[in-house]
Amino acid sequence: MAPADPILRLNEVRFRWSGRASFAVSVPEFSVAAGETVLLLGESGSGKSTLLSLICGTILANSGQISVSGTDLSTLPNGKRDTFRAEHIGMIFQQFNLLPFGSVLDNILLPLRFAPSRRARSLDPQQEARALCTALGLPIEVVSAKASNLSVGQQQRVAVARALIGRPPIVIADEPTSALDADSQADFLNLLFDQVKSHGTTLLMVSHDQRLAEQFDRVVHMQDIAHIERQAA
């Protein structure tokens, strides 16, 4: 049963990668409600990365509909799809993807350069960035430090601040706790949940770690929503 008021909806989606081995993913139906926190569990090769790419619009489905904040991604040309993603989706990558020689402040503010409406939601972007650092347990003096000089835990928190700046309606996190021990995972998730709930942000996190399940509103297993086809070329 689909959640009420979905901010994300997939309907009869199908995508096939071509190459030496053909890999296809089909998702009959999947929805996430506005403000909901959802953990999407799946092992390696279950199609998680492909699904995230489809939701973010970096690849387009061969058929079906993917709607984010009420917009069908297939109706947007490439450039507008990139802008739409920057406006509506905050990303937390597994490897963080920070600019190593940019300052913490530069990294946090980066999405706003590509998202005018998201930038407009922040009356004072630099002040918001500093407030996010404080809320995420980063010392305020770190904002001028280079990202490459931070610890892994600090880089992770900067990645969260970058995803949250300008209050995008949905945050997608791709295996953000995979390099952390259990205690560090718990601390990180507590900070992340405090922020998404205080802003009313939807959170979709992808992981293979079932220990995270109890903290989310809903847990979804890839095998329950997606069908995978593999065929040698």
**Tens-digit pLDDT profile for residues 63-103:** 999 999 999 999 999 889 999 999 999 999 888 899 999 99
**The model's pTM:** 0.90
Give me the amino acid identity at 215. Q
d(CA 154, CA 135): 13
The SS3 assignment for 161 reads: helix
Residue 91 contacts by C-beta under 8 Å, 6 or more apart in sequence?
56, 163, 171, 172, 173, 174
Catalogue the E-assigned strands of 94-213.
170-174, 202-207
DSSP string, 25-63: EEEEEEEEETT-EEEEE--TTSSHHHHHHHHHTSS--SE
Lowest mean pLDDT: which of 11-15, 189-193, 199-203?
Answer: 189-193
Contact 22/16 with Cβ under 8 angstroms? yes
What's the distance, Cα to Cα, between the start and end of the chain in Å?
Answer: 36
Nearest to 68 by CA among 93, 85, 47: 85
The DSSP H or E segment spanning 71 is strand 71-72
Nearest to 93 by CA among 33, 134, 53, 126: 53
The DSSP H or E segment spanning 184 is helix 182-199
**Tens-digit pLDDT profile for residues 9-36:** 999 999 998 875 688 999 999 999 999 9
**Tens-digit pLDDT profile for residues 112-149:** 999 999 999 988 999 999 999 999 989 989 999 999 99
d(CA 158, CA 171): 14
In order of their start, the domains of the chain are 6-232 (3.40.50.300)
